[in-house]
Structure 1
Amino acid sequence: MEFQDVVRRRRMVRRFTTEPVAEESLRRILHNSQRGPSAGFSQGQEFLVLRGEELPRFWEVAGQRATDPITTAPLVIVPLSVKDAYLDRYARPDKGWTDRDEARWPVPFWHIDTGMAALLILQTVVDEGLGALYFGIAPDHEAAFKTEFGVPESHAPIGAIAIGHSDEPQQEGSSAQRLARRAATDVVHYGRFTR
């Protein structure tokens, strides 16, 4: 599939068939997730892959109702952001911030880079002919999620991605159809911010 087609066709899918995701597709999705940018090549992203009998437990601790159509997804990938990987990397001699001070970071690149990895997952899903939904894990559910799946305290889920074969038509009245996409002239500023 051409890259512009991947970008154009990417949308959130909320209902899936029970058909499993092929192992080759999963391998490609996970391989591509590791190809995103990473400040200082810190590589502070890890991914928890959940399938089969793990999924009902995930939906429960993530706060999803069993009747929610999203729970039919046969695969969930949880991108995990690892801040210590960044602080450790920038404390090395070639970077020189031996104090590991978070204040040196203008934004939390550990979350940003993990978000870019999540976007690569979403794009690869489209290229594989699958559907996906990115959604958040509410802060009040994070501790239960980490306990249930043995996720270290140092690893922060930036959300989760449900993946599978779409079982929904292009919905009439969806947000993307009801709301106009903002014009490039409203969001792109050349040389100086203008309104």
Structure 2
Amino acid sequence: MNVSDAVRSRRSVRAFVNKPVERETLARILEKAQRSPSGGNTQPWHGIVLSGEPMQRLFDRIAHEFPKGRDAHRPEYNVYPSELDGAYEQRRRGVGEDMYGALDISREDKANRLQWFARNFQAFGAPVLMLIHTPRYMGPPQWSDIGMWLQTIMLLLREEGLDSCPQEAWAVYASQIREVVDIPDDHIFFCGLAIGYRDESAPVNNFDVKRADIGEAIRWEGWQ
């Protein structure tokens, strides 16, 4: 698979088939991903790769918290800025509505929407969940380095026929995650990455995820 095909076929997969992922495959991918760029070669990323019983223990812990709603949320950073508006907010809300549309869950059907949202905390049925963290003193440049590392991993997963879903949703349960997963106290928890094989038939994996026109993101200067 060339890079263009990997980019084109990558998406946030929210339904996985019941098929294990070999540790050797993930180790090979993560070894290659160490070539990801980072400012000053700091390589500020850290990950914990869960499967089997440790992953289920985390799922069970969060399942106990989920019915409490927002009262149980303990994020260590704001996933979205409070000032998010305009096109950025429209895109965020739009992809959610498109997803629920693909699932045939109406806006008024709050119970089924909530039930579907809970699947975030089962990694959408993926057999692997990687949790990402970094030292607390790292700033925005290092967080962008982590993003480049994650993108590299996700594209390498596609090369191996695997898929993923980056999940900032896990951030709202940072303190509960620490109860069952050993994350250093001087590190901040960032996100999860669900990893597995895509369920090709699932509607949630087949709706069109819209992208802004390049003209909304890029300005050209000094070109004919």
Question: What is the Cα deviation at residue 62 of structure 1?
Answer: 4.9
Tell me the distance in 1 between the aligned counterparts of 2:33 and 2:133: 12
For the residue of structure 2 that corresponds to 1:158, the secondary structure is strand
Aligned to 2:30: 30
When normalised by structure 1's length, the TM-score is: 0.74
Listed as ranges, the matches of 1:92-107 within 5 Å are none
Q: Which runs of 5+ in 2 are unaligned?
A: 67-114
Aligned to 1:8: 8
Cα separation, partners in 2 of 1:81 and 1:147, compared to 1, 3 Å: same
The Cα offsets for residues 62-100 of structure 1, whole Å up to 9 and x where unpaired, read as 56779727442111111222245x6xxxxxxxxxxxxxx
- Is contact 2:20-2:127 (8 Å) kept? yes
Q: Does 1:42 align with 2:42?
A: yes
- Is contact 1:137-1:157 (8 Å) kept? no
Tell me the distance in 1 between the aligned counterparts of 2:39 and 2:5: 29
Report the aligned-residue RMSD: 2.6
What one-letter code is carried by the residue in structure 1 that aligns with 2:216?
A: D
Q: 2:207 aligns with which of 144, 165, 174?
A: 174
Q: Which runs of 5+ in 1 are unaligned?
A: 87-106
Aligned to 2:192: 160
Cα separation, partners in 2 of 1:189 and 1:61, compared to 1, 3 Å: farther
Question: What is the Cα deviation at residue 122 of structure 1?
Answer: 1.0
Question: What is the Cα deviation at residue 43 of structure 1?
Answer: 1.9
Tell me the distance in 1 between the aligned counterparts of 2:135 and 2:20: 29
What one-letter code is carried by the residue in structure 2 that aligns with 1:163?
A: I
Q: Does 1:112 align with 2:137?
A: no
Q: Does 1:130 align with 2:162?
A: yes
When normalised by structure 2's length, the TM-score is: 0.66
- Is contact 1:29-1:124 (8 Å) kept? yes
Listed as ranges, the matches of 1:73-84 within 5 Å are 73-84=126-137
Aligned to 1:183: 213
- Name the structure where helix makes up a greater proportion of residues: 2
Q: Does 1:72 align with 2:104?
A: no
The count of residues paired between Structure 1 and Structure 2 equals 168
Aligned to 2:69: none
What one-letter code is carried by the residue in structure 1 that aligns with 2:157?
A: V
Runs of 4+ in 1 over 3 A off after TM superposition: 60-67, 137-140, 170-173
Question: What is the Cα deviation at residue 23 of structure 1?
Answer: 2.6
Tell me the distance in 2 between the aligned counterparts of 1:137 and 1:41: 28
Tell me the distance in 2 between the aligned counterparts of 1:19 and 1:28: 18
The Cα offsets for residues 131-188 of structure 1, whole Å up to 9 and x where unpaired, read as 1111114544101112311101222222111011112437387251xx4x22212221
- Is contact 1:10-1:122 (8 Å) kept? yes
What one-letter code is carried by the residue in structure 1 that aligns with 2:128?
A: L
Asked which structure has the greater RCO (Cα within 8 Å, sep 6+), the reply is 2
Tell me the distance in 2 between the aligned counterparts of 1:31 and 1:159: 20
For the residue of structure 2 that corresponds to 1:133, the secondary structure is strand
Aligned to 1:99: none
Aligned to 1:147: 179
